[in-house]
Structure 1
């Protein structure tokens, strides 16, 4: 269901999405309003994470960035990945997982509809951006290492 929602978003942006046999090390590619997802990815959750990152390239990248030895291309890759993290795991969704009593990374990732690796990458990015914790809407403190949520009570 969640993968299909991203497919609809891509279609709304006039982006064609095609599942193709790609090199085993290539999970997805974006060029000229077309996204290719590696057909060999085993779950819709994996495909959703890759599709989100490729949509991130649509929103944040320009030109051919396949040469990752160029620092400018690596920066664009990072921007696309960050876009995907914010798209699939905004801080509010971490609070939602807490409210749903999801415990541990596996349950949280399952609740959010992402892989554990994608969840960890998003947490790592939030750690770089905010430090060990971030306060959300003056109601929740999200501790990023280890991951946890604390409700803030106002007197």
Structure 2
């Protein structure tokens, strides 16, 4: 990497788009709204947080902050993947949802790096475990994670001399 360039590894629209295609490919023909895809994008690389395989990405302090910045990134990612027919947008009676596009299967079958193969495996696991949860069931899963993050935040605050 050249000096002066800021690394944004794992956080570009392309990288988030590949994660979205992996999720939607594993879920096909199911479609999801943006909110669910933002949560899935986080959970895909942090599967151990919900009792799954080892995390793809190293642990980071303050997980909740990581989740908060994903919405815009996932929106950009979906738009990018739509330009290549890897994702399609559907207008349903429940709102706007996203599904695997016409080229998703071909794209996913062509990946061969260890990281991308691990990503596909975790996407399949994630969809198998959480993909068919109702909105309410999924909110309960995310609420439990949020409660853990609140505890994490309070521990950091106490360590800095704050009150809990």
Q: TM-score range by the shorter chain?
A: under 0.3
TM-score, length-normalised on structure 1?
0.28
Higher relative contact order (CA 8 A, sep 6+): 2
TM-score, length-normalised on structure 2?
0.27
Higher helix proportion, which one? 2
